A and B are shown apart, each in its own frame.
Chain A
Amino acid sequence: MLRLIGRRLLLMVPTLILASILVFALAQVLPGDVGRTILGPYATQQQVDLLNHKLGADKPLYQRYAVWAGNFVTGKWGDSAVDKSVHVRPTVIKALGNSLVLAGFALVIIVPLSVLLGVFAGLRRDSLLDRGITISTLSMTVIPEFVSGVVLLYVFAVWLKWLPVVGMPPDGSPFYDRFYYLILPAIPLMFLELGYIARMARVGTVQVLAMPYIRTAVLKGLPRRRVIFGHVLRNAMVPTVTVIGSQVGWLIGGLAVIETLFVYPGIGKLMVDAALAHDLPMLEASVLLVAIVYMLANLIADIVVALLNPRIRMGG
């Protein structure tokens, strides 16, 4: 088990290096003249050269990459290019924390709910209930989150006035208020995952139900509840956790959209704002951090799958 985790962590290193080269290439090499990009078309060539020298952009590429990557590893993430008084590292990390609260809140509710729906559908395979659950959850999943978000915003915040229109309470509000404000932004994120998790849980259930050991369990007289919770649910979880891991990328993309829609100060909104304002240091740092979080999330999903499935755990 530990070897499995260790090997996967080691595998992350080359992937991360290549991903950082990708970000570096996109951000520093493709736009061509860095100084010209920052200063715009009206600056004189002298000013551009001076800035390039100051930024070290006149050095060879591999040196620039080494300096850039070294700064990232040692935590020197620099200042925002738009507002020099804003330091990148604390800003990005605080935003990441906010996003994790939002995503965690959504996942804590949606995972058990959609697994239940999926298992329920799987147990009554091909019934009207099964078709209903499958079609409605999948429709919710495929609709872009800003569409469901804006409809929910209209119904619950504007029309019924049950919930606030923004995702973050004003400063000084009590802590539990945060969750009240998080309800509305979390729902579109839940929709995003609902269909896939429910579908995998359904497929898992259908497959497990066909297994001989379920027949054995039923025939030896185990109560239905024991069969479902002890055997079906446990084994149906394996494909489900895998799909949760593979959907984390879309969840992160969803965070960018939802945080923009609900004006929530998370890393997704930070990234979008930095990209629109051409704030390179902020953009690079948040993209790299998101890449790390993404890989860790996939790793955690793999570990949970291994824990649930002895065959992988022992073989690892």
Chain B
Amino acid sequence: MEDDRTTFGPDPDLEAEGRELGADPEMLELRADAAAGLKTQELQADAATALEQRRQRRYLIRALLRSPTFMTGVIIVLFWVFMAVFSTYITQSPTAVDAMHSLAAPSAAHLFGTDELGRDVLARTMAGARTVLIIAPLATILALLWGGIIGLVAGFYRGYTDEVIMRLIDVLLALPIIITSILVLSLLGTGLTIIIITIGALFTPVVSRTVRSAVIGEREREYVMAARLRGERSPFVMAREILPNITQPIIVEGTIRLGYAVFTAATLSFLGFGLGPPSPDWGLTIATERIYLQIAPWTVMFPALALATLVVGVNLITDGLGRVFSK
């Protein structure tokens, strides 16, 4: 009996908890035994579920690869990622000025024409994905990180903590996102870092709501109870037990936010709160070139169509993921 226990070692957490509660040692021993038993069972169960999970993951990936919606989205987004990274090696320079050929219509020399400074519109359109593709994913990751932590804490502890956090979240949601970001960026100045942090922070409340409701759905399940009974600390239960079980809603939420982040980043740069010229950013280009809409529509139309394809691509990914996960 004694040996049996030492193989698993006494659980310091559990003993501390027992002392706090003032439980008698016999009771403590019983609970430790129960916890040890649970652990062996869990180990076996873990091996089985790990296999099951791997099988499920393989199934999900195969389903995704066969989803035309998802794959179309992936191809579109990958195209823009590739262009953002390598376009300068393929096309002409996006910032080279050629005043002699300003606002030239599309031709063999310039397939998409040139803008008012004679810059090649094709090169600028291809390089224009860069800022959006830096801002949107990083802002989404920040939002998932912060929102994930807040949602886990609120959903796990419930009660007073939850109430206070959710009321604060309601306040943050009381202002429209574009409006708050305009306010923040006009007062704190613009720049890549600050735009990323602002969008990330403003998306945090929505993410934390999603994560919270997912956590609430999980916290009463047996495996959480088992982890608590064997005396795991709360952060461990949240991060290692609950979190792996709510990855699907978090991934779906992440792709939804990514779509909104592209939308928001492009909108902010259109309104003049993004990077300044000579950046080939689409939103900025559309804002500055739209005065030439009547005489040189190609300067505006190509970046506009490019942005539209990227946004639709991201949303196709979201749609495909949602469809496969909900099956």
A158, B293: Cβ atoms closer than 8 Å: yes
**A26 vs B181: C-alpha distance when bound (angstroms):** 11
Contact A27 B187 (CB under 8 A): yes
Decide yes or no whether A19 CB sits under 8 A from chain B: yes
| B183 near A287: Cβ-Cβ < 8 Å | yes
Q: B184, B186, B283, B312: which contacts A143 (Cβ < 8 A)?
A: B312
* Structural contact, B186 and A144, CB atoms closer than 8 A: no
Q: Which residue of the partner chain, among B175, B267, B272, B305, contacts A294 with CB atoms under 8 Å?
A: B175
A249–B271 CB distance below 8 A: no
With an 8 Å Cβ cutoff, the count of chain A residues facing the other chain is: 46
B1 CB contacts on chain A under 8 angstroms: none
- Known: A30-B188, A275-B182. Contact between A19 and B174, CB under 8 A? yes
- Chain A interface mostly helix, strand, loop or mixed? helix
Q: Which of A139, A146, A291 contacts B283 (CB 8 A)?
A: A146
Please name all residues of chain B whose beta carbon is closer than 8 Å to the beta carbon of A283 when the two chains form the complex: 183, 186
B174 & A294 in contact (Cβ 8 Å cutoff):
yes
Chain A residues positioned under 8 Å from B182 (CB to CB): 256, 271-272, 275
**Interface 9-residue window, one of B75-83, B109-117, B294-302:** B294-302
Cβ of A146 to closest chain B Cβ, rounded Å: 5
Contact in complex: A257, B270 (CB < 8 Å): yes
Q: Which of A259-285 contact B (CB under 8 A)?
A: 260-261, 271-272, 275-276, 278, 283
Interface residues of B in 309-327 (CB under 8 A from A): 311-312, 314-315, 319
Q: Is B304 an interface residue (CB 8 A)?
A: yes
Whether A158 and B294, one on each chain, are in contact in the complex, defined by CB atoms closer than 8 angstroms, is yes
Instruction: Place the interface of chain B in its size category.
Output: 35 or more
Of chain B, the residue at the smallest CB distance from A256 is B178
- A272 to B186 Cα, complex, angstroms: 9
Contact of B304 among A27, A150, A252, A291 (CB under 8 A): A150
Taking a contact as CB atoms under 8 Å apart, the answer to whether B267 and A144 are in contact is: yes
A16 within 8 A of B: yes
Q: Report yes or no: B271 in contact with A144, Cβ–Cβ below 8 A.
A: no
Set of chain A residues within 8 Å of B271, measured between Cβ atoms: 256-257, 260, 272
CB distance from A261 to the nearest CB of B (A): 7
Chain B proximity mask over A25-57: 1 for CB below 8 Å, otherwise 0: 011001100000000000000000000000000
In angstroms, Cα B286 to Cα A150, docked, is 8
Q: For residue A250, which residues in chain B have a CB less than 8 angstroms away from its CB?
A: 176-178
Known: A19-B175, A278-B186, A294-B174. A142 touches B267 (CB 8 A): no
CA of A159 to CA of B298, assembled, Å: 13
Question: Scoring B residues 97 to 118 as 1 if CB is less than 8 Å from chain A, else 0, what string do you get?
Answer: 0000000000000000000000
Residues of B within 8 A of A260 (CB): 270-271
**In contact, B176 and A290 (Cβ under 8 angstroms):** yes
Task: Name which residue of chain A comes closest to B263, CB basis.
Answer: A144
Judged by a CB distance under 8 angstroms, whether B266 is at the interface is yes
Q: Which B167-181 residues have a C-beta within 8 angstroms of A? A: 167-168, 170-179
Q: A19-B171, A150-B286 are in contact. List 13 more A-B contacts (CB 8 A).
A: A14-B167, A15-B171, A138-B315, A142-B311, A144-B263, A151-B301, A154-B297, A154-B300, A158-B293, A252-B178, A253-B176, A272-B272, A287-B179
Interface residues of A (CB under 8 A from B): 14-16, 18-19, 22-23, 26-27, 30-31, 138-139, 142-148, 150-151, 153-154, 158-159, 248-250, 252-253, 256-257, 260-261, 271-272, 275-276, 278, 283, 287, 290-291, 294-295
The 3 closest A-B pairs by CB, nearest first: A253-B178, A275-B186, A249-B176
